Amino acid sequence: MKLPFIRNSEKSKDFQDLFYRIESLLNSARKLFTQSEEVKKIVAIEKGALEKSSAAANEIESMVGATANAAQQLTQTANSSNKLVEDANKSLEKMTELISTVTQTSNRLQISVAEGLKEISSVTQTMQEIREKAKIINEIVFQTKLLSFNASVEAARAGEHGKGFAVVADEMGKLARASGSAAKEIEEILSTGVQRTNSQIQKVTAELETVASDTVKAISDVSVKSTEISDSFSSLIEFSKNTEFQSQEISKATKEQEVGVSQISQGLQDLEMSSQNLDRMAVESYQNSSDLAASVENINTQFLKLASSLGYKITKVESIFDFDAAISAHVDWKMKLSKYLSNPDGSLDHKKVCLDNACVLGKWLYGEGTEYKETNSKIYESLRVSHADFHKTAGDIILLINSNELNQAKVMLQPGGPYMKVSDGTVSLIRELKSSVELKKSA
């Protein structure tokens, strides 16, 4: 049964006011949906960036940990090296002391041998003196023989009375001859002994001087070398201590760095967790705003049907599309693509970007904006084609970046390139359509 047409101006006004409120609520719901969609995209991008930053921080933390371990090992090695050098230096000092002892012993030996040679020389001198004494004895023997001969002559002259004396003189002559032979043999033996002894003394002295000189020179050379090595070890000890100190400083710094990186990593993990929660909330907000917009849209439709069935005429207020926001969103794509070229993290999908009906302007062009297809057909159609070309070009650039063809993508983005031409053309057409719509509304 059809209800009669109710002509009540108050009721009609109430219905009109209610429709305005519902329409305002619908516009708010649509804006909320649009904003939540943008927030969802931004949160998704930030979430991806945080995940990559967190992964990079974990890698850095791992590398810093490895560096800290290496620094610790370097410190231990430096400590061991320093100990080895100190031990070697102590051994060298002991060797230097031994060389000094050997030098002193060699000097004492040389003195002892020299003194021994002096003693031998003294013995030789004594033998020479004995030889001289033997010469005197030999002369005495000669004189005795001469006296014995004279006695024999005198005994012969005495005749019978000198026979006894002759016998004694003969025996004295024999004894003198025997003593002379012995004295001569002693002189010869002493002469030979003195010559041999002098020869040996000269030979031993010459050899001793040579050996002593060589020994002293060798010990001196060893002493000089040991001193040089000792100086080198002293420098090496100083260097080793400096190395040990520096390695300790490096180890300390890497430990502090490890703590700092660990804190950064923990902070990024906390941010990542917060980002995940924010992403979940953004998705929920997007879904809720979508449901809210759909519900308000449904309420608006049902209300219009109810008002029509009751015989009320509702005047629909046309809302003006936010052209400035659309211009800003499309201008911002240049910066977004440039950043993506510098850091191609895979967050942009060329298939989604190529769609010209997914953004706010695209939805308006294929939705409420279709009413301008008749009144501003030329501008509307030019904008629709240019807008589609804009998204296709942006998608092509993203495809090049994702394919690692960065140079070609850079050429397309540079001033005067394909992207800037289609971007400037699209923005210019949006401004032109905005002026036309505003002019129509004010008429």
Q: How confident is the model at residue 9 (pLDDT cuts 50, 70, 90)?
A: low
> Quick one: 43 and 161 in the same domain?
yes
pLDDT > 90? residue 381: yes
Q: What is the pLDDT of residue 355?
A: 95
Do 299 and 331 lie in a common domain?
no
- Picking from 442, 439, 345, the residue whose alpha carbon sits closest to that of residue 401 is 345
Tell me which of 379 and 12 has the higher pLDDT. Answer: 379
User: Which of 45-49, 220-224, 395-399, 415-419 has the weakest average pLDDT?
Assistant: 45-49
DSSP 443: -
* Same-domain check for residues 93 and 36: yes
- Residues 139 and 166 grouped into a single domain: yes
Confidence band (pLDDT; 50, 70, 90) for 230? low
Look at the block and give the residue holding tokens 């040089």. 228
Does residue 126 form part of some domain? yes
3 confidence band (pLDDT: 50, 70, 90): very low
Please report, for the domain that includes residue 370, its CATH number.
1.20.120.30
Number of structural domains (the chain) is: 2
In this predicted structure, the answer to whether residue 248 has a pLDDT above a threshold of 90 is no
pLDDT of 319 above 60: no
Is there a single domain that holds both residue 269 and residue 326? no
Measured CA to CA, the distance from residue 136 to residue 427 in angstroms comes to 148
**Confidence (pLDDT) at 293:** 65
280 in a structural domain: yes
Question: Looking at the structure, do residues 20 and 132 belong to the same domain, yes or no?
Answer: yes
CA-to-CA distance for 317 and 323, rounded, in angstroms? Answer: 18
Higher pLDDT, 205 or 420: 420
Q: Which of 311, 331, 353 is the last residue of a domain?
A: 311
Cα 4 from Cα 309, distance rounded (Å): 9
Distance CA 316, CA 24 (A): 11
Most confident of 78-92, 103-117, 255-269, 423-437: 423-437
Mean residue pLDDT across the chain? 76
pLDDT category at 350 given cuts 50, 70, 90 is very high
Residue 141 CA to residue 421 CA, distance in Å, equals: 150
Name the least confident of 102-106, 315-319, 395-399: 315-319
Q: In angstroms, how far is the first alpha carbon of the chain from the final one?
A: 42
pLDDT of residue 240: 67
116 within domain boundaries: yes
- Whole-number pLDDT of residue 4: 38
Q: How far is CA 103 from the centre of its chain?
A: 50
Average pLDDT over residues 292-310: 73
Residue 1 lies in a domain: no
- CA dist 20 and 288 (Å) reads 23
Q: What's the rounded Cα separation, in Å, for the pair 228 and 143?
A: 76
68 and 108 in a single domain? The answer is yes
300 and 402 co-located in one domain:
no
pLDDT-derived band at 40, boundaries 50, 70, 90: low
Q: 426 lies in a domain?
A: yes
> Do 266 and 291 belong together in one domain?
yes
271 lies in the same domain as 341: no
Find the CATH number of the domain harbouring 247. 1.10.287.950
- Whether 248 and 351 map to the same domain: the answer is no
In a domain, 66, yes or no: yes
Task: Please indicate, yes or no, whether residues 302 and 276 belong to a single structural domain of this protein.
Answer: yes
Residue 406 makes CB contacts below 8 A (sequence gap 6+) with 341, 344, 400
Domain boundary among 276, 311, 346: 311
pLDDT at position 144, please? 76
pTM comes to 0.40
Structure tokens at 111: 């003195």
Which of 311, 342, 365 represents a domain boundary (last residue)?
A: 311
**Is the separation of the CB atoms in 337 and 411 below 8 Å?**
no
Residue 336 has pLDDT above 80, yes or no: yes
Cα–Cα distance measured from residue 50 to residue 273, given in angstroms and rounded to the nearest whole number: 10
In a domain, 2, yes or no: no
Q: What proportions of the chain, in percent to the nearest 5, are helix, strand and coil?
A: 90, 0, 10
Q: What is the pLDDT of residues 41-87, one digit of tens each?
A: 666 666 666 666 666 667 776 776 777 677 677 677 767 766 776 77
Query: Could you tell me what percent of the chain has a pLDDT over 70?
Result: 66
Q: Is the pLDDT of residue 189 over 70?
A: yes
The domain of 409 spans 320-442
Mean pLDDT of 374-389: 91
In a domain, 177, yes or no: yes
pLDDT value of position 376? 83
In whole angstroms, what is the distance from residue 401 CA to residue 316 CA? 47
